[in-house]
Amino acid sequence: MRWILAHIGSRLPAGDPLEALTQTWLRRIGSFAQAETAVFATEAAFWDSLAKKQRRTAPFLVALDSRGREMSSEDFAAWAGALRDRSTQEILFVVGPASGWSEAARDQMGAMPHLVLSLGKMTLAHALARAVLAEQLYRASTILSGHPYHTGH
């Protein structure tokens, strides 16, 4: 299974602490999944790339939005495990632009059968949302593989 953590905006410089954190958590996911980042300059570039991709692989799309569905870390891990067991090849997580998703993007999301995931009711800086998601992906991989990280040890 491949996890792609995409965001819309500009690439963070390598020395940015949020970039460093995100990359550290993605590296730790290790054998559970292949995890990497992707950047799209605009919403349009993202939907365009997705349309091209869907002709080949049809990734499972997860858009991040504070108005979406909230899950506990355990439920998120169970959800990821179920997708893995159904042989889903690729899950594409996407964090919206710094100024939030456009109304057009919200309509597009509403029309898709995939998940709109909320990390909580609070609005997070988009590079911070990406780091939090990377930590949750790492946490999910430890829950599914029985590693004791999630219990704080």
Is residue 8 exposed (0-12), middle (13-18) or buried (19+ Cβ within 10 Å)?
buried
Q: How far is the CB of 31 from its own copies (least distance, A)?
A: 21
Q: How far is the CB of 56 from its own copies (least distance, A)?
A: 32
In our burial notation (b when 16+ CB lie closer than 10 A, e otherwise), range 99-121 reads eebeeebbeebeeeeebbbebee
Binding positions for its own copies, 53-82, rule CB under 8 A: 66, 70-73, 75-76
Interaction of residue 150 with its own copies, rule CB under 8 A: yes
Which of 26, 29, 61, 135 is in the footprint of its own copies by CB under 8 A? 135
Closest by CA position to 46, among listed 4, 76, 90, 83: 4
CA–CA gap between residue 29 and residue 110 (Å, rounded): 30
Q: Is the Cβ of residue 6 or residue 142 nearer to its own copies in the bound state?
A: 142
Which of 55, 56, 86, 153 is in the footprint of its own copies by CB under 8 A? 153
Residue carrying structure tokens 């792609």: 4
Give the binding site for its own copies (CB under 8 A). 17-18, 20-21, 66, 70-73, 75-76, 97-100, 118-126, 128, 131-132, 135-136, 139, 150-153
